[in-house]
Amino acid sequence: MKHFVFSADGHVMEPAELFTGGLPASLSEHGIHTRTDGDYIFTFAGEKLLHRLKRNPRPAPGTEVFGRPHQLGARDIAARLGDMELEGIDAEIVFPTTGMQIYMIENRDAEVASSVLYNDWIDRFLGGHLDKFVRCGVLPVRNFDDTVVEMERLARAGFTAAMLPTQMPAGLPNYNDPSWDRVFDAAQRTNMVMILHTAAGRADIRPERGPGAAVVNYTSQMCDAVTSLMYLVAGGVLDRFPRAQVAVIESGASWLAGLSERLDETYHGHHMFVQPKLSVPPSEVIKRQVSISFQYDRGCIMTRSITGTRGLMWGSDYPHHEGTFPNSRKVLEHLFDDIVISEQEKADIVGGNAARLFRLQRPEFANVA
């Protein structure tokens, strides 16, 4: 049976000049930009070095290169639609690449201007195909007045998702701080899904060196999501705004069941110390308000009796090297092998859950609350 397939994780490559040439002259010195020196590409926020990545040569035919930077569909809509057809993907939500680094901008005005630049650009880039794509905005966070203003602007433009940092930048309060209440109140009012995407807020995405570093660097990014989710749940902000929705993206998903049970265990075992008291156990907050994407880790399907199925969303991570492109059809074909699961649950996980959460502009999904 062919189910509707919605990828809950895809990326775009922004134009190289977007975050430099687009900023006012008075703010350009704070913008995100890259410099190439020898075999390395250096990424900066202003003059602050964020990370250094070794350059990949243009691949020879039949070879792979990290991130597939030359995949035309990362920059061109027609090519992207062709890749989606090849992969059997009916729709997707699209996240930035360079735009992930906006949270490293320390100047408030430059952060706001960079967020608006990206949001307006992705609106133009995807706007003619809203039955195929969900736009995700980037929210400024240096001042929560700016966060709310931009969220409300995005909502008026029809956006249904917007990004927050997964690893909190220096100088900002953690998600258990009550100052975040106004942000999640706005998310609840505007029905805007708050996105916690891996690496958002990380200055250096490859901090480890030496044996095993390539595995450790990517795998450990899920720890940012675990920490942020613990703050949001145990700190009470999600419980205070029970209609606010959070989606954890590209951090794996099989850990969510273990975290749910561990939070319940600690909440009940240390009840005499716990503040604030929640209206329901932590695991119920997660079932009610947290969705999570995955690519290969089928453990989240096997443990759905703990987390529920509603929040599980498959995603390809197009066009990244660790994603499923160009083998998504094969991955989806075997995703449920040896798992006892209904056809309805399969349909929900491979597309229905995400399409409903992000209110994809198709008749069967757009008006679902």
Closest by alpha carbon to 317, among 207, 197, 213? 197
Torsion angles phi and psi, residue 249, rounded to 5: -120, 135
CA–CA separation, 34 vs 104, rounded Å?
Answer: 14
Q: What's the predicted TM-score (pTM) here?
A: 0.93
Q: Return the residue matching tokens 């410099």.
A: 35
DSSP reduced 3-state for 42: strand
- For 300: left if phi > 0, alpha if psi spans -120 to 50, otherwise beta; the answer is alpha
**Neighbouring C-beta atoms of residue 340, cutoff 10 Å:** 7
Q: Return the residue matching tokens 């977007």.
A: 18
Q: One digit per residue, pLDDT tens: the chain, 369 residues?
A: 689 999 999 999 999 889 988 899 899 888 888 778 887 878 888 878 787 777 655 555 544 444 455 689 999 999 999 999 999 999 999 999 999 999 999 999 999 999 999 999 999 999 999 999 999 999 999 999 999 999 999 999 999 999 999 999 989 999 999 999 999 999 999 999 999 999 898 876 677 788 988 888 777 788 899 999 999 999 999 999 999 999 999 999 999 999 999 999 999 999 999 999 999 999 999 999 999 999 999 999 999 999 999 999 999 999 988 899 999 999 999 999 999 999 999 999 999 999 999 999 998 886 655
Residues 6+ apart with CB under 8 A from 207: 217
CA–CA separation, 233 vs 334, rounded Å?
Answer: 33
CA–CA separation, 137 vs 157, rounded Å?
Answer: 11
Q: Domain 6-357 sits in which CATH superfamily?
A: Metal-dependent hydrolases (3.20.20.140)
Domain chopping of the chain, boundaries: 6-357
> In sequence order, what DSSP letters do the residues of 85-150 get, joined into one string?
HHHT--EEEEE-SGGGGGGG---HHHHHHHHHHHHHHHHHHHGGGTTTEEEEEE---SSHHHHHHH
